[in-house]
Amino acid sequence: MSKKTLVEAAMGRATDRTPIWFLRQAGRYLPEYRAIRKDIEFVDLCKNPALAAEVTLQPLRRFDLDAAIIFSDILIPCTAMGQHLTFDSGHGPVLTHPIRSAQDLFKLHHPNVEKELGYVGEAITLTKKGLRPDQTMIGFAGAPFTVASYMIEGSGSKTFTEVKKLRYTQPQVFEELMELIAAVTSEYLLMQVKAGADCLMLFDTWANQMTAEDYRDLVFPHMNRVIEAVKAKWDGPLIYYPGQTLEWLFELNGFLGDVIAVDWRSRLPRAIALIENLGLNVSVQGNLDPQAFMAPESLLRRNVRQILEAGQKARGHIFNVGHGLLPHTPPEALLIAIDEVRSFDKTRGSSH
Ligand code: 1CP
């Protein structure tokens, strides 16, 4: 069986090319996505396995990519826990019944993930039929804190006031909510593995909103326990994205994942050096500025190459953007970035 390039790089093994994919590679910047989305709401699209698989495969038909990420959202599991989810156009997600008290928490439901979120598994199984054997199927979930922040606020937030209020005034409720989400998340990820995911990713976009101490004591342990529970039953790779990565986020003592996805604001060589100083045996993913696709071709190529050169110093490197692609991304610019990655591989021979 042919090896999966991304899985190999994630595990720190040699590959004959640098794996490349893009966060939010399926989405509004693609006209073929907009054509499907004009007739269906986002949440309904996520819950329809045939359409979700179709949308997941769209970028792979256009671009030479090493991975597909299942089309869904980190907030989909909240719908199985008893909150209703809508996406107001232009306003982002809205969740009903925000969790602000012990009573709110008590009303939440611990779902049977196979039954209540099985459509995500079905979409993964369908998508996989459209992949080459060397391409990787990525399943994902939000990390407990990032999901909790939406469940508590009931929407996106700039100040995270309700999250902080719960954390400071009802720490027990905050802790129990994190425990519940962590338990559901590990079951949800294992369900995706069973359906065919070859690699998993945990998104912790808002981890940077806590103090360094609270991240260490209240956020990181729940996230790491999700990885521990998954790894007890599966030996594939897991990528962790800690959002806008401040230095203290690299204090990942005892981190059990395999890859750190680096935000575009960080300098990749510095992130790699920090990881090494901490003695973490992990690969890195990232970290092109998603806005760099607007640059003239020569500048875009230079930015891509700088990241590739920095990546050489890591145990393994998966090329990606440092946050999701934006709706105004010109699809043709992705072809240039991919071409630069492939030509870099030709000049340097086999990786690592
Ligand atoms: O209108 C539309 O078509 C919906 C836009 C959209 C899409 C395409 C949303 C709304 N989510 C998604 C898909 C999505 N979300 C994926 C699919 C796989 C991919 O191609 O990458 C993934 C992995 C996510 C993860 C996600 N959702 C995160 C973590 C990563 C990140 O971007 O930081 C977060 C924070 C969300 C919440 C969310 N969903 C959608 C929006 C606009 C937001 C952010 C809202 C906010 O700012 O709070």
Instruction: Count CB-CB contacts under 10 A for residue 164.
Output: 17
Tokens 């729940």, located at residue: 222
Can you give the pLDDT at residue 253?
A: 86
Looking at 17, 24, 167, 225, which residue is catalytic? 24
pLDDT at 349: 63
Asked if 174 contacts 164 with a C-beta cutoff of 8 angstroms, the reply is no
Pair 178, 75: CB distance under 8 Å = no
Q: Is the CB of 154 under 6 A from ligand 1?
A: no
Establish whether 150 is a catalytic residue: yes
- Name beta bridge partners: 285: 261, 318
CB 52 within 8 A of CB 123: yes
Q: How many angstroms does the Cα of residue 352 sit away from the middle of ligand 1?
A: 33
DSSP string for 166-235: HHHH-HHHHHHHHHHHHHHHHHHHHHHHHHT-SEEEEE-TTGGGS-HHHIIIIIHHHHHHHHHHHHTT--
To the query of whether residue 73 is one of the catalytic residues in this protein, the response is yes
**Does residue 13 carry a catalytic annotation?**
no
* Residue 280, C-beta contacts closer than 8 angstroms, at least 6 positions apart: 250, 252, 255, 260
For ligand 1, atom 35, name the residue with the nearest CA: 205
Tell me the three state secondary structure of residue 259.
Answer: strand
Q: Closest ligand 1 atom to the C-alpha of 22?
A: 21
Taking the CA atoms of residue 52, residue 58, residue 60 and residue 63 in that order, the dihedral angle to the nearest 10 degrees is -150
Amino acid at 134: D
**Residue 215 annotated to the active site:** no
Nearest ligand 1 atom to alpha carbon 205: 33
Active site (annotated) includes residue 28: yes
C-alpha to C-alpha distance for 71 and 102, rounded to whole angstroms: 33
Q: Which of 33, 74, 318 to mutate to test the pocket of ligand 1 (most atoms within 8 A of CB)?
A: 74
State the residue for tokens 């720190």: 12
Atom of ligand 1 nearest to the CA of 206: 35
How far, in Å, is the centroid of ligand 1 from the Cα of 2?
32
pLDDT computed for residue 91 by the predictor? 79
Rounded distance from Cα 277 to ligand 1 centre (Å): 32
Closest C-alpha to ligand 1, atom 34: 74
Going by CA atoms, what residue is nearest to atom 28 of ligand 1? 74
Task: Please tell me if the CB atom of residue 25 comes closer than 6 angstroms to any atom of ligand 1.
Answer: yes
Query: Is 93 near ligand 1, meaning CB less than 6 Å away?
Result: yes
Q: Is the CB of 45 under 6 A from ligand 1?
A: no
**CA 169 / ligand 1 centre spacing (Å):** 30
The closest-lying atom of ligand 1 relative to the alpha carbon of residue 70 is: 18
**Using CA atoms, how far apart are residues 171 and 279, in angstroms rounded to an integer?**
32
pTM: 0.96
* 287 prior amide bond cis, ω within 30: yes
Q: What's the start-to-end Cα distance of the chain, in Å? A: 22
Whether ligand 1 lies within 6 angstroms of the CB of 327 is answered as no
Atom of ligand 1 lying closest to residue 45 CA? 3
Question: What's the confidence (pLDDT) of residue 351?
Answer: 52
Active-site choice (28, 100, 216, 305):
28
Q: Which pLDDT does position 71 carry in this prediction? A: 98
Cα pseudo-dihedral 253, 254, 258, 262, rounded to 10: -10
**pLDDT tens track, the chain, 352 positions:** 579 999 999 999 999 999 999 999 999 999 999 999 999 999 999 999 999 999 999 999 999 999 999 999 999 999 999 999 999 777 799 999 999 999 999 999 999 999 999 999 999 999 999 999 999 999 999 999 999 999 999 999 999 999 999 999 999 999 999 999 999 999 999 999 999 999 999 999 999 999 999 999 999 999 999 999 999 999 999 999 999 877 777 778 899 999 999 999 999 999 999 999 889 999 999 999 999 999 999 999 999 999 999 999 999 999 999 999 999 999 999 999 999 999 999 987 655 5
Which secondary-structure segment (H or E) carries 297?
helix 297-311
